[in-house]
């Protein structure tokens, strides 16, 4: 591999092909290129704009270094976003994961502590008394027990430890921020993946398709969220074995009232956890309940393609209104 040749291509706004990208990211993870070259690579890709081949290659290399959960069978779903929307929002994706598990769906939630939200998925899971799994062998038994397994990202991706100082020094959004939701070591068959900007939607959808996910939805929420919101019309790209399909999701078409972004925000971790417990028990602010129901309805639709999405939203509203029945997290 000629790192200078690849960097020159990137500086001239030429895209790397898949094989070139594999070579350069393997060298990055193995420490075979200098910190200066590594920083130039990440900054150059950011300025040029990452492509599907470049992101897919980075994901493949990261998964080669990961502690994968092997021999997984059957349907399993993940609900997560890239973060970075800066909204300090209620942790909706984790509530959706709990409701899906309560409905008998196998949920392999891959996540970390808070970055741009008031409370990250790991913070919620830990506060509710569930384990942050650290061993691939524990995932199957946990799913068998409660239909929910939380894969704490740092335990499953030791290869990122060597890259962390570089990312901290750069202090900017890089391709690594996009990779998180694509690195679930349990390799979900279904996925809701949120992004804070619609420019990332085609990119993430292309990588999900390349990774042969059975059914997924790449979501950019109204008012800049990385989840569906009741704040306006949301944008979605559906990924299936048949291809990609863009579709707006207007909450008012499903009977939801519009709200403001402030209605979905939490000031701090304590408030976020309080709201999480309220929502999971079938109460809490209506706007937050509606947000959870919108995303839960989307998850039900991915898992049940024979159902009309309006019927999925009806099921979701009913489920959120009744709270958890089987999963004990209080």
Which of the four pLDDT bands, split at 50, 70 and 90, describes residue 291? very high
The yes-or-no verdict on residue 115 having pLDDT over 60 is no
Tell me, what's the pLDDT at 119? 75
Q: What are 86-104's pLDDT values in tens digits? A: 667 788 999 999 999 999 9
- 89 and 221 in a single domain? The answer is yes
Between these two residues, 101 and 241, which has the higher pLDDT value? 101
Tell me, what's the pLDDT at 320? 98
Query: Which candidate, 91, 118, 122, 127, places its Cα nearest to that of 267?
Result: 118
Which of the four pLDDT bands, split at 50, 70 and 90, describes residue 328? confident
Query: Which candidate, 18, 10, 29, 82, places its Cα nearest to that of 54?
Result: 18
Residue 293 in domain:
yes
Tell me, what's the pLDDT at 327? 84
Q: How many residues does the chain have?
A: 330
- Give 64's contacts (C-beta < 8 A, 6+ positions apart): 26
Contact 118, 275 (CB under 8 A): no
Residue 162 in domain:
no
- 41 and 82 in a single domain? The answer is no
Query: Which candidate, 157, 192, 190, 191, places its Cα nearest to that of 176?
Result: 157
Domain that holds residue 250: 77-157+186-322
Residue 149 in domain:
yes
- 37 and 81 in a single domain? The answer is no
- 138 and 285 in a single domain? The answer is yes
The yes-or-no verdict on residue 118 having pLDDT over 80 is no
Domain at 36, CATH number: 1.20.970.10
- 10 and 142 in a single domain? The answer is no
- 149 and 241 in a single domain? The answer is yes
Tell me, what's the pLDDT at 176? 92
- 45 and 133 in a single domain? The answer is no
């Amino acid at each position: 591999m000629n790192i200078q040749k690849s960097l020159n291509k990137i500086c001239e706004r030429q895209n790397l092909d898949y094989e070139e990208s594999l070579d350069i990211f393997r060298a990055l993870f193995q420490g075979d290129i200098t910190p200066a070259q590594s920083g130039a690579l990440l900054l150059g890709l950011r300025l040029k704009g990452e492509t599907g081949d470049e992101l897919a290659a980075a994901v493949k290399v990261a998964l080669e270094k990961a502690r994968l959960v092997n021999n997984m069978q059957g349907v399993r779903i993940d609900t997560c976003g890239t973060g970075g929307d800066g909204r300090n929002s209620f942790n909706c994706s984790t509530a959706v994961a709990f409701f899906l598990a309560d409905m008998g769906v196998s949920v392999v939630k891959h996540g970390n502590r808070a970055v741009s939200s008031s409370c990250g998925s790991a913070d919620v899971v830990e506060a509710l008394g569930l384990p942050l799994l650290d061993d691939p062998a524990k995932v199957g038994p946990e799913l068998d027990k409660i239909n929910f397994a939380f894969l704490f990202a740092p335990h499953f991706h030791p290869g990122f430890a060597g890259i962390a100082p570089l990312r901290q020094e750069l202090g900017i959004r890089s391709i690594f921020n996009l990779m998180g939701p694509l690195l679930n070591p349990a390799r979900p068959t279904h996925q809701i993946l949120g992004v804070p900007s619609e420019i990332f939607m085609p990119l993430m959808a292309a990588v999900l398709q390349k990774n042969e996910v059975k059914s997924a939805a790449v979501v950019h929420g109204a008012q800049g969220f990385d989840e569906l919101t009741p704040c306006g019309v949301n944008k979605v790209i559906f990924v299936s074995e048949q291809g990609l399909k863009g579709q707006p999701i207007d909450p008012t078409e499903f009977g939801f009232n519009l709200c403001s972004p402030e209605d979905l925000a939490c000031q701090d971790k304590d408030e976020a956890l309080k709201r999480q417990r309220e929502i999971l028990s079938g109460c809490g602010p209506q706007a937050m309940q509606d947000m959870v129901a919108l995303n839960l309805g989307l998850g039900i639709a991915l898992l049940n393609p024979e159902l009309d999405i309006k019927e999925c939203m009806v099921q979701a509203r009913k489920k959120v209104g009744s709270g958890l029945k089987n999963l004990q997290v209080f």
